[in-house]
Amino acid sequence: MKMRGKATEIAQRIVDAFKEPGNLPKALAPVFIRRKDDAPCRKWSWHNQLLVALSGTSDARGFRQWDAVGRKLKKGSKAIWILAPCMGSVKEKDENGDEAKRNVLYGFKGIPVFAVEDTEGKSLPGNERYDEWVRNLPLLEVAESWGVHVGTYSGEGKSALGYFQFGTGRKAIMLGTENLSTWAHELVHAADHRISKLTDARPLLEIVAELGSAILLEAIGHSYDADLGGAYAYIQRYAETAGKPPVRSCIDVLDRACSCVALILDTAEKATQAEF
């Protein structure tokens, strides 16, 4: 099968995703969560929807498709590449000896599309409420200064109420619930990524994020939203996995969680000073 232009590189991204099967459900979850909205990419093939998800966005369209909904590409926007089938036809004879044409797939070619985060203009239908909520998030300027896009998806009925996307050239925090604890949790993940690259086992990463988010929300005056119960639940699971008592586990991650909180608050302070 022929792969034209960038098609070989694009196809390799799909292959690479399957080399880390644990990441596939996380990447694909927004595809199914948003499956009933009217974004054109929801009608694309599953492999192209995966390529969109792996690029850290929930909506990607071609230039003309964005223009049709009143949005323009931002300067310097980089394309996400998907695969378009190359079709041809062959002549065959049926059992009666009559000649007929049959369409065949003989290869793929790369097609550029662009993420919603790389466009500006009219708000998309149904997004106004969530756009406003995101704009008013505390410490949003921290994520923006780190080049982390913050977006939303419908997390109703799903176990994952938010996630931090990284490692694809596009970093994003996607929120599936209007909950400051979830926002702070994912922001701590983003800070931890800057400090440690998130190379440790997931139980440790989650306890750092949950403990750090509780500390962070207390520090900025949102103690009501600090999920201390959730933090201890993570500590217990981590302790069981590591074979350590909960107190020792708390001590092990306290420095790391506090380093993440300090980085977030220091970044917020610098962003505020830069405005004046």
Q: pLDDT digits over 193-207, tens only?
A: 999 999 888 878 988
Which token pair is 256?
A: 């790391």
The number of angstroms, rounded, from the C-alpha of 172 to the middle of its chain's C-alpha atoms is 5
Among the listed ranges 42-51, 124-133, 180-189, which one has the minimum average pLDDT value?
A: 124-133
Mean pLDDT of the chain: 83
Angstrom distance (rounded) from CA 231 to CA 260: 15
Query: Which residue is listed with tokens 């966005």?
Result: 57
Q: How many other CB atoms are found less than 10 A from the CB of residue 186?
A: 24
pLDDT digits (tens, 9 = 90+) for 134-174: 889 999 999 999 999 898 876 554 456 888 988 766 788 98
Residue ranges per domain, the chain?
Answer: 1-124, 126-276
pTM passes above 0.85: no
Residue type, 158: K
Q: 108 with 86: CB under 8 angstroms?
A: yes
Angstrom distance (rounded) from CA 256 to CA 119: 36
